[in-house]
Amino acid sequence: MEKVIIVRYSEIHLKGKNRGYFERVLILNMEKSLKGIKHEIKRQSGRYLVEGFELDETEEILSRLKRVFGIHSLSVALKVPTKMGAIFNAAKEVCFPVGSFKVNSHRADKSFELNSMQISAEIGGRILSTFKNLTVDVHDPSFIINVDVRENGTTLVFNEFFKGAGGMPVGTSGKGMLLISGGIDSPVAGHMIAKRGMQIDCIHFHSYPYTNLQAREKVVDLAKVLSKYTCGTRLNIISVTQIQEEIHKKCNGEYMVTILRRFMMRIAERLAQKYGAQCLITGESLGQVASQTIEGMTSSNSVIESLPVLRPLCGFDKDEIIERSRDMGAFEISIQPFEDCCTVFLPKHPVIKPSLESVEEEESKLDVENLVKGALASLEIINL
């Protein structure tokens, strides 16, 4: 009797002739997530088994695999020879001592002498004879004993399904560059796009010494949380201090956030192109703050030369974003009270619906190209 973890994939079964590619990426990501833990991953008829691990590592393996996109569900199972005595012994191990139960059986090995219904009846009868405090309830049982008779002479017995992260394996949908701040929204945006299979690099803009090093470390911590779902990420850190100082000196203060946002998009696109990223990703939600009106987004988009901009949170309200932030484990970091660059030189009354003409007029007071080059020269890279 061996303890194993069953891994069932999500949308990959819909991929037809390309399924092999998606499976290979999923296995690679599973191996990355389990780095440092002794294990083996074996394919078994549309699912995978994690085997050969130490029993005290079970919960850690489950925790890591639950964050791997492309996995639909997981179960901790006992693998035994396909013999009724061995199957019953495993069923006893996963059985609760009190309550109601039923047995669900699946027979992939059609050469086994009993069919699925007969297996369920046989195991259920033996369980009732052994555990006097149990009753059978096929409609609403307290727990279910699952018996999965495989084609290779082994059977898997388990009682729980753990929900996986769903989605598609990271790396099967290209690469994107996420503009990540220290707030709640942008890590959630990255998480959502990674769930659709996109590899994520991050870019963060800071205004040291106007912002402190704690604000920087906060973003590093958020990128670390995100990297657990993306099988690693590269965090690019850029100083926009000089840009903000120049905007503050030469431009109408009401346009500070709008113009700064345009610089960020220019810089992010150039870095994305350098790394082969195919889009930019932001945490903007329509109407949430002054820079996130449709006019503000139009202004930001107008400086992008070739890449699409994905805004997965555009239709979300704040409560929905907070809920997702909590679920991914980023919320408590995001609410730490360290300001990011967007709060530096913040005007009392930022322009809410800027016309593109007025923004371009204010921005013409700046040496845009040299400011962009200066910012890119400050690049610091952290691989997570």
Regarding whether 115 and 209 lie in a shared domain, the answer is no
With H, G, I as helix, E, B as strand and everything else as coil, classify residue 179.
strand
Distance, in Å, from the CA atom of 93 to the CA atom of 159, rounded to the nearest integer, reads 10
| Domain-terminating residue out of 163, 184, 216 | 163
Distance, in Å, from the CA atom of 242 to the CA atom of 375, rounded to the nearest integer, reads 8
- Residue 170 in domain: no
CATH number assigned to the domain comprising residue 36: 3.30.2130.30
Q: How confident is the model at residue 12 (pLDDT cuts 50, 70, 90)?
A: confident
**Look-up of token digits 């660059």:** 341
- Residue 284 in domain: yes
| Domain-terminating residue out of 163, 186, 206 | 163
Per-residue confidence (pLDDT) for residue 91, from 0 to 100: 96
Regarding whether 120 and 192 lie in a shared domain, the answer is no
Regarding whether 154 and 52 lie in a shared domain, the answer is yes
- Residue 168 in domain: no
Compute the average pLDDT of residues 265-291: 92
- Residue 39 in domain: yes
Distance, in Å, from the CA atom of 102 to the CA atom of 82, rounded to the nearest integer, reads 20
Regarding whether 119 and 60 lie in a shared domain, the answer is yes
Regarding whether 343 and 200 lie in a shared domain, the answer is yes
Asked if 86 and 1 touch (Cβ cutoff 8 Å), the reply is yes
Regarding whether 242 and 362 lie in a shared domain, the answer is yes
CATH number assigned to the domain comprising residue 289: 3.40.50.620
- Residue 255 in domain: yes
Percentage of the chain lying above the pLDDT 90 cut: 79
- Residue 196 in domain: yes
Nearest alpha-carbon partner for 243 in 221, 225, 259, 226: 259
Which tens digit of pLDDT belongs to each residue from 264-276?
999 999 999 999 9
Give me the domain span that covers residue 72: 2-163
Helix (H) or strand (E) holding 238: strand 234-239
More confident residue, 61 or 290: 61
Per-residue confidence (pLDDT) for residue 16, from 0 to 100: 80
Per-residue confidence (pLDDT) for residue 44, from 0 to 100: 83
Regarding whether 259 and 147 lie in a shared domain, the answer is no
Regarding whether 244 and 107 lie in a shared domain, the answer is no
Q: How confident is the model at residue 342 (pLDDT cuts 50, 70, 90)?
A: low
Which tens digit of pLDDT belongs to each residue from 214-249?
888 999 999 999 999 999 999 999 999 999 999 999
* Type of residue at 119: I
Total domains in the chain come to: 2
- Residue 169 in domain: no
Regarding whether 255 and 374 lie in a shared domain, the answer is yes
Regarding whether 221 and 97 lie in a shared domain, the answer is no
